[in-house]
Amino acid sequence: MRKLGFLVLVLGGARAFGWGGEGHNLVARLAQARLTPAAAAKVKEILGPDATIVSISSWADQVRNSRRESGPWHYIDIPIDKKHLDMARDCKNGDCVIAKIEDFKKVLVDPAATPVQRREALMFIVHFIGDMHQPLHCSDNKDKGGNDVRLDFNGRNMNLHSVWDSAMLSRMGTEDELYAKLSQDLNPGRTKKLGKGKVRDWAEQSHSISVKIVYGKLPKGTGIKITSDYEKAADPVIVEQLERAGARLAATLNAVLK
């Protein structure tokens, strides 16, 4: 398995994508292994025999250029100087990750929904639950989710968003190595515990991580360089966010696809 790549696309100043492809794969792999038999059967029925939630985990990123309306659905802008989200302030017109997860959950259980609508709803949910656990997808520091923050990471000129998407994750091992570690840590009891709560709670948790770690531990001033101390603070957060996303994706699908 190749090392995790630096997959970040920024189109026309838009927000960068969430976790890189391997990050989304990890979330989906963790969730797939924790689906109930009923939910797994429904997933197979919706996606068809040749697809899994892992194989479609990055579909929502792949169609962003052709489905421009979906761009804002990948994140929610909760100001980092606010303790809690405010849907009227942070999710105007229902165009944010929280609202869209709820919208697509309704499509999955709507008997009038077409097979195509249900398939797209499932593919969006799989991706969006992963996205919202990347802390910069639930915070706003007037910098396009960290895209405007230029810095040095291991000798590379990058932006803060791409560092959290893929760059730090790429230094932790291969996808298979990470999956083995995450899967071992995510025992049944921990899966149940992490899967609790509502989508809004999960968004506020990601926002809090942005405030305390992503921005709170970031070296100040110009010429920012990511230090080993910053990575030591960030790495366990990334691991736990991937575990949370996997557990919560499984919990969501198990609850909806009974």
At a CB cut-off of 8 Å and minimum separation 6, what does 91 contact?
76, 85, 98, 99
52 part of a folded domain: yes
pLDDT tens for each residue of the chain, 258 residues long: 333 333 333 333 345 566 888 899 999 999 999 999 999 999 999 999 899 999 999 999 999 999 999 999 999 999 999 999 999 999 999 999 999 999 999 999 999 999 999 999 999 999 999 999 999 999 999 999 999 999 999 999 999 999 999 999 999 999 999 999 999 999 999 999 999 999 999 999 999 999 999 999 999 888 999 999 999 999 999 999 999 999 999 999 999 999
Whole-prediction pTM: 0.92
Range of the domain at 73: 21-256
At a CB cut-off of 8 Å and minimum separation 6, what does 34 contact?
186, 191, 246, 247, 250, 254
Total domains in the chain come to 1
- Burial category of 126 from C-beta neighbours within 10 Å (exposed 0-12, middle 13-18, buried 19 and up): buried
6 part of a folded domain: no
8 part of a folded domain: no
- Predicted pLDDT of residue 10: 34
CATH code: domain of residue 106: 1.10.575.10
Q: How crowded is the C-beta side of 179, counted as CA atoms within 13 Å?
A: 19
14 part of a folded domain: no
108 part of a folded domain: yes
DSSP string over 223-255: S-B--HHHHHHHHHHHHHHHHHHHHHHHHHHHH
